[in-house]
Each structure stands twice: as C-alpha cells, then as structure tokens.
Amino acid sequence: MSTTTNSPAHPLHPDAILDALDPEQREVALALTGPVCVLAGAGTGKTRAITHRIAYGVRTATFKPTSVLAVTFTARAAGEMRTRLRELGVVGVQARTFHAAALRQLGYFWPRVVGGAPPRILEHKASVVAEAARRVGVSVDRVAVRDLSSEVEWAKVSLVTAEDYVKAALVDDRPAPSGYDHQTVARLITAYEDVKTERGVIDFEDVLLMLADMLHSHRQVADEVRSQYRHFVVDEYQDVSPLQQFLLDQWLGDRKELCVVGDPSQTIYSFTGATPHYLLDFTRTYSDAQVVRLVRDYRSTPQVVHLANQVLRRGRVPGALELVAQRPAGPPASFTTYDDDDAEATGIAARAGRLVASGVRPSEIAVLYRTNAQSAAFESALADAGISYLVRGGERFFQRKEVRDAIVLLRGAARSADPDEPMPEQVRDVLTSAGWTEQPPAARGAARERWEAMQALVGLADDVAAAAPEDAPATMAALVAELEERASAQHAPTVEGVTLASLHAAKGLEWDAVFLAGVSEGLMPISLAETDEAVAEERRLLYVGVTRAREHLELSFARSRNPGGRATRKRTRFLDGLWPDDPADRRGRGRAVRGQARQQLTGEHDVALFDALREWRLSVARETDKPAFTVMGDATLAAIAELKPTSVAQLARVNGVGPAKIDRYGQTILAIVAEHAG
C-alpha cells in the first residue's frame, strides 16, 4: 500500500505554516487531535485550512504523513489537495476520493482474503439495468434506463436492500422513477444484482461496500489498515452518504482522530443519497468535538456575499453560516429580464464579450444553469459571437485524442531533453510538430477545440516552470510527471474559454464573472421539487451558484420560451424582495402540484397551533432519529396553522404535504388541528 510522489518543495517551519492563516483557520490547524468539525462557508479557505493543518501536524511530528488519509468527493479536489501539500513540503499523505481510496485497498487485500484478482468494475450501469428490466418484464427506453440506474445507485449508497426499498422510499417520500411503481423497482434491483453476479462484475458502490464489509468481517485486515491510517480528514462532509459513512466507521474503528469539513448550506446532492445529517449531528456523535466556524469570505466581493447571505436568510436554512466579505467592494449584482430564451442567450453572450474586451479572461467567465438541456442556446450564442467556450461535463480533457498523443510525444522528448534549454521552449517545439501554433486558428469547432487543448498544455508548462525554484529549474521529466499525476486524478489544466455548466457541476469551482441564467419558477426551483425539503435544496443550489462569483454576478430569466411566445414565466421566489423593482411580498403566488391547486396564504397563522405542530414534529424526529426539518418544514407547518384543514382533502392542498406524508401523519395532524379548534 505504498505510494510514490514527486519531489517536495522546501519544507516550511511550523510557524511559517501558521503565519499564512487567519485566526479561525489557525484554530483549525492547531486542532490536531480528537474529533474536529470545521463548518466552512463558501470561499472561506477550507482547503487552505485543512492542508495547513496536515502540514503543521507533520512538521510538529504530531503525526506521520503516511498515517493520514484525506478523502473528498472529486478527483479534482483530491488533486488540488495533493498539490497544496506538496507546495508546503509534505509528501506521503494519501489524498483521494472515497472510491479511489477504497479501490486501492480492496485491490490490495482481495487476493489475500478472497483469492485471485478482484472482479472487473462496471463502468456504466445501463446495459445491466436494461437486462434486469427485461427479466422483470419492464419495457424501458434510454431515459428510463438512466433514471432506473440512478435509483439503483441511490438504494446502494443509502444501504437500502431490495427487500427494504419500498418501505425506505415511502419513508423518504421518494417517488418511483419514470412512472414505475416501487414494487417493480424493488424487483429490478434484485435482478440487477443477479445480472452483475452472472457477468462477474461489480459496480462502483460495491467497491465501498465490499471493502467496508471486509474490514468489518476480517479483524486482521481492519487492524492492518487502522495501523497505517491513524488520522482521517473528510472534506465536503455534508455530502456523505450512509454507505460512505459506514466505510469511514470501519476505517476509524473505535478511534476519534477525525476532522470533518463541510457546509450544510451547500448540500445539493440529496437526490443521490447524500445527507447533511452526519455533519449537523457531529457534536451529538462526538460530544467532545471541537467546532470551528470559517466565515471570512475571501472569494467574493461584499455585493456578492450580501446577496448570498440574503438568499439563505430568507429561506431560514438550518445551520446556515453568515459570511463576512473580506474583499474590496465591487460592482453590484445585476438582474435582467429577457423576452425569450434566445434573447437571454444572445444578451449573455454579448455581456460576456464585453467582459473579455475589458480584460477578463474567457476562462474566468461561467454561464450556469439548472438543467443540461439549457446549454444548447448558450453554445450557439457564444459561437455566433466568436467567443470560445467549453461545456463542463463533456469529454474529459485527458481522454481527448490530441491530449493523449501530445503526452506521448512529451514523454518521448523527456528522455532526450537538453538540460540547458528552458522547458517551456522545448514543450512548444514538441507541440508545434503536433499541429500547435502560437496563434489560434480562425476556424471554430473541432479545430479550435484541439488548439485550445494543446494551448492548455503550453500554459501548464509555463506554470510548472514558474513554480520551480531558481536553483532547480523545471524539466521535461517534471512536466510529464505532473501530467501523469493530473491524468490519474482527472485534474485538467485550464482551457481558455467561457465555461458552460449546470449548477451541480459548478460545485467547488469559482470564476471572476458568473451568469446565473434561467432563474425562473419551474427551473429554479425545478418543477420536480414538490416537497419542502426538495424546494429547500433548490434554494441551496441557487446559493451555490451565487457564491461561485468573485466579482461580476448577473442573474437573468426569460418571460417566454420562444420568440413571440406568451410571457407566462415568473422569476424565482428565492429572489423575493431582492430583485429590483419587484414587490417584496410575493407570498400570494400559488402553484399547481400533482394537479391540485394550492391554497393562497396570507402569512398570518395560529401561533399556538403552529407551536403544537412543531412539538409533534420534534417528537417524530426523535423517534425516527431524523432531522426535524425532514419530517415537515416550517413553511408547511405554518400553512397548516393558517388554513386549519378539517379533512384529508383540505390537508392535501397544503404545499409540502404529499400522499406519503398524508399516509404517515395525516390523521395525527388533523387531530392536532381539531384539538386546537375545539
């Protein structure tokens, strides 16, 4: 289970490590033992805090670097953590995603525990899900296979078996995908596991599950892992699933050397099985935990930070941190209403062009939207404006043929490189032979994308050379090693173009300028968000989008879909009172859910009844060991306390009360209402 790394930078003195931190970050770095919970708001330097904590612990000999396992959720974040540790002179720390760490350990122990080589990992579930559907007699198309694959994944990361699926889905008020009933999905989950077994393959969730079971069932394996890894760091802890927590528990054993970092306000993956429960309840799990709050926002201007805080404050988000801007003032956030989607795309492309003309690099501009289907209009508008762009979530950088070919050429050139010639010049010579030119081609499309990919390699060569100490200039071999490490982590260099991305794909990223497009009801929140919990997550998603911006932030929506169409769209309720020249009180807006007209509310409710309903909710939360807001949100309880329904039909018209909640709580709620009415 050993590892190799590139040569480190010169190790820093422990005091120098601390001197680079603000008071709260320093508190994190000094909290080297025992359970530690870092609540870190967007842009507050959480990666700096935890990497400096690791470096300080190593430099003070509190722990050995090889005894630290730092896990996060994306290969990019893990790669960034390794890079920062290397810059701090620390090597040997394992910084990996949950899956990468688990796969490494599973591959190491499998021959000893099971025998032979581990099973082949299934890259995509689609073919197996389609076969499972055929076996249970279900007709599926491509969209249904995708939705069913996601549901199979949710069940596995939630530690829900086929036998328990129906009950678990009802408890979570989770609709069955693609119109199928829960019983059918349960049978499909069983068939899916059978097909996998017959084909001799495992999926990515099995990697975590099998390793966790191996550690749980084989004491010798657990002892060996626990003797190596004594200190654990978990980033983005608000996104941990029950399966990942189960594996983490096996890694830990009965120890408490755990530092978790997260932000409940950035919980946006509940639909995949992620839950903030473990973060919010960390101090209940570890009563002696040290809690540190990072609220100094170094990323965004006060104007952006103010809007972000307001989005959360108006939604009463549990555990929300109030950010404090540290940057100088910038331009105000702008709000634009367009006639139709085409006008919005064209307008954003024009504004992006003006930013580029003013000196903002295209790679520092992003257009973010709720659904991937929205990207096409922006791709067309940017192309028409002659502005380069890349769609995040498309073909991975290191999988592109021109990139793979270029790395082969660079690897060959490294073997015979002239040590006296500057490395960036050698790289340019090599890539020129592969078709790279100093100036971009006039053509758009594939030719421009190939040039931009190779230009990114040139830019990386310049960055590596600039970071090298004067007495040890960067070499071709060092660049190739950097590329190989980045390729293994899918940590792509910067491609010069405007980024188009969904709000989910933008998590963890930041740009100088951000356009939040399509902030209208039906898209934000998405029309599928029918419960209070789902709507609350949509609000958090908007917050994530706002906090991606460093300086320039523009929010927009279109009143109609097509030119000349009816102007029926309304901007999102999440910006009530924040959108200029718009009434602050929009509580009267109703919406149709499941075909029923929702009641209009005034906001005036029976306080005593509301308190009684909250007491009832708290008792349910304690009995089920769930956060109170997942039972029923405050907005729903307030609506019940105002409308005072006397029948199931009236209760069903309250926003946030669906069939599952009526089945579970309906009669109890009606009894509480009746008691107060009497």
Binding positions for ATP: 40-47
**DSSP-derived pairing of the beta strands 296-297 and 498-502:** unpaired
Decide the pairing of beta strands 596-597 and 120-121: unpaired
**Closest to 468 in 3D by CA, of 487, 482, 489:** 482
Phi, psi of 668 (to 5 degrees): -65, -45
The CA-atom distances, in angstroms, between 581 and each of 320, 335, 338, 512 are 27, 10, 15, 26
Residue 645 burial (CB count, 10 A): 20
Residues 137, 646: Cα–Cα separation, whole Å: 43
Task: Report whether 402 contacts 434 (CB < 8 A).
Answer: yes
User: In 3D, which of 511, 63, 579 has the Cα closest to residue 311?
Assistant: 579
Q: What does residue 296 show for φ and ψ, rounded to 5 degrees?
A: -80, 110
- Assess contact for 600 and 590: CB atoms under 8 A: yes
Residues 41 and 263: beta-carbon distance below 8 Å: yes
Residue linked to tokens 């609540």: 39
Tokens found for residue 534:
């789902």
Burial profile 487-511: b = 16 or more Cβ within 10 angstroms, e = fewer? bebbbbbbbbbbbbbbbbebbbebb
Total count of residues recorded for the chain: 678
Q: Which residues pair with 38 in a beta bridge?
A: 261, 292
End-to-end CA distance of the chain: 69
Q: What would the two tokens of residue 123 be? A: 């890259």
As a dihedral over the C-alpha atoms of residue 640, residue 646, residue 649, residue 655, rounded to 10 degrees, the angle is 0
DSSP 175: P
For tokens 């060959």, what's the residue?
412
Largest separation between any pair of C-alpha atoms in the chain: 92
- In terms of DSSP H, where are the helices of 314-400? 341-357, 375-384
Give the integer Cα–Cα distance in Å for 78 and 14: 23
CB atoms within 10 A of CB 580: 9
DSSP-derived 3-state class of residue 4: coil
User: How many CB atoms are located within 10 Å of the residue 522 CB?
Assistant: 17
- Is 30:15 a contact under the CB 8 Å cutoff? no
Q: Where are the beta strands (DSSP E) in 253-333?
A: 258-262, 290-294, 296-297, 324-325
Q: What is the DSSP letter of 319?
A: T
Binding residues: 40-47
Element of type H or E holding 621? helix 607-624
- Measured between alpha carbons, how far is 351 from 530 in angstroms, rounded to an integer? 34
Closest CA to 575 of 301, 333, 298: 333
CA dist., res. 220 & res. 547, Å (int): 46
DSSP summary character for residue 96: E
DSSP state of 257: -
DSSP 3-state of 505: coil
